[in-house]
Each structure stands twice: as C-alpha cells, then as structure tokens.
C-alpha cells in the first residue's frame, strides 16, 4: 500500500492524497493532453493532404485546358507552356519589344490581340473561383550596354521590365473583346518587372536571348492556402526539433 504524503486527519475523517495517487492523476492529465494534441495533429495533416490534392487537381486541369487551347499556336509564337508553374512563356525578344524600349512591336500587338482574349476568357469562364492571381512578368538579360556596374545594369533593367509589363497590361485592358471582364481583370492580373533576377541558362551559362522574355503565370488559391498552412506548421516543427 502506498504511504500517504501526509498523515490522515483523525478529527474530520478526511485524508490527503497519496504520492502515487497524485502521480497517477498527473499521468492521466498528460495522457489526455497527448490524445488531444495527436488528434489535432492528425486533423492538421488531413487538412494539408486535402489542400495538396485540391491544388494538384486544379493545376492539372488548368494546364490541360491551356494546352488544348494554345497547342496549335505555340510554335508560331515561339512560346511554351511550363506545366509545373502554369506559365506561358514568350521567348522571341525581337518580336516583343525593340531593344531598350517598352513599346509593344506591331507583331506582339497582333499576338496579344489573339492570345489575351482567349487566355483571359478561358481562365475566367472555367477557373475564376480557383485563381488567386494572374501575373504578367517581364524578364531581361543581365546586359545593359551603357551601365558601369552590375548593380546599375540590374536597376536599369528593372525599370525597363516594369515598363514593359505595364505596357502589356495596359494594351490588354484596352482590347474591346475584354471590356466585359475588366472588373475581374483589374482585381486579378498584375504586372511585375523582375529585371535579370531569373535568368535562363544554357549549359550553365546565361542565355541572353531566352532570358529576354514575357511570361503569363497563374497562381491558384489552393497553392496559396497550402503555403499559408506550411508557414504556420513550419515554426511548430522547428520547435519540436
């Protein structure tokens, strides 16, 4: 029999709890907490799994829809679709803009006349509830002929790439076929100039021609939700480690 922590009171018939009973009680409390924590952890894992599955299904559906819509046009535009990022990439700098300028060439205007209405209408009609953002991204090579330093070249190219994406967005918003979708476009489409931050390399060296490009990228809500969950889970995992 366990020895009492304190002697029993003789006058009131009451007794103090023993050490063994106290430990047993604490163990039950800890076990209860562990069960609750495990259940919460399992629920979190299930939520993450569901979002991952939703994200993968949505992005696959978007990729397949874009590929069906534009497969016959990619070669003549010298464009490509990247499945992993849902990016349509235009890779012929000479048909996009004149060197060092942000004005659209007549050829690129013709491409946008065809591409943008089909692109926006497809995403709006089939995936508007799943889309968080459509990013128009301008990219340059690292070269700037008159720059005296790498930093100066980067900043000048940053300004140029931002002006170019704004030109693309401005032109697209003024296409008559897209006027009915203006409210959705202004909430969803952004223009982003990234200078030479994301160069394309060939055989380990900068490919200047391919680096000078314009990209259209779809960001889904499921992906953004997954990132938010991972941001919350990661600190908790780090503390445990």
Domains of the chain from N-terminus onward? 48-228 (3.30.1330.60)
pLDDT in tens, 99-132: 889 999 999 999 999 999 999 999 999 999 999 9
CA–CA separation, 50 and 54 (whole Å): 6
- Of the pLDDT bands very low, low, confident and very high (cuts 50, 70, 90), residue 183 is very high
How far is the CA of 6 from the CAs of 1, 20, 61, in angstroms? 14, 12, 71
> Which has the closest alpha carbon to 91: 76, 80, 107?
80
pLDDT in tens, 17-75: 565 665 666 677 666 666 655 556 666 666 667 767 777 889 999 999 999 999 999 99
Indicate the pTM of the whole model.
0.75
Return the percentage of the chain with pLDDT > 90, whole number.
59
pLDDT in tens, 191-236: 999 999 999 998 989 998 899 999 999 999 876 766 766 666 655 5
pLDDT at 121: 98
- Of the pLDDT bands very low, low, confident and very high (cuts 50, 70, 90), residue 237 is very low
Find out whether 220 and 123 touch, Cβ atoms under 8 Å. Answer: no
Return the percentage of the chain with pLDDT > 70, whole number.
73
pLDDT at 13: 47
């Amino acid at each position: 029999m366990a020895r009492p922590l304190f002697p029993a009171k003789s006058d009131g018939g009451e007794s103090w709890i023993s050490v063994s009973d106290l430990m047993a009680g604490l163990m039950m409390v800890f076990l209860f907490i562990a069960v609750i924590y495990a259940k919460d952890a399992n629920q979190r894992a299930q939520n993450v799994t569901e979002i991952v599955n939703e994200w993968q299904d949505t992005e696959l559906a978007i990729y397949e829809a874009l590929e069906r819509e534009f497969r016959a046009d990619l070669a003549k535009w010298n464009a490509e679709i990247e499945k992993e990022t849902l990016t349509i990439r235009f890779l012929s700098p000479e048909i996009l803009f004149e060197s060092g300028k942000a004005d659209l060439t007549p050829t690129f205007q013709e491409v946008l006349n065809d591409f943008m209405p089909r692109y926006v209408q497809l995403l709006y009609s089939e995936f508007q509830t799943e889309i968080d953002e459509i990013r128009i991204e301008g990219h340059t090579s690292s070269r700037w002929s008159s720059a005296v330093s790498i930093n100066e070249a980067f900043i000048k190219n940053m300004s140029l790439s931002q002006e170019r994406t704004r030109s693309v967005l401005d032109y697209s918003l003024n296409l008559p076929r897209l006027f009915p979708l203006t409210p959705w476009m202004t909430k969803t489409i952004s223009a982003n100039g990234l200078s030479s931050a994301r160069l394309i390399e060939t055989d380990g060296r900068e490919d200047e021609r391919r680096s000078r490009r314009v990209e259209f990228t779809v960001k889904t809500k499921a992906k953004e939700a997954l990132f938010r969950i991972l941001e919350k889970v990661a600190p908790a995992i780090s503390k445990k480690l």
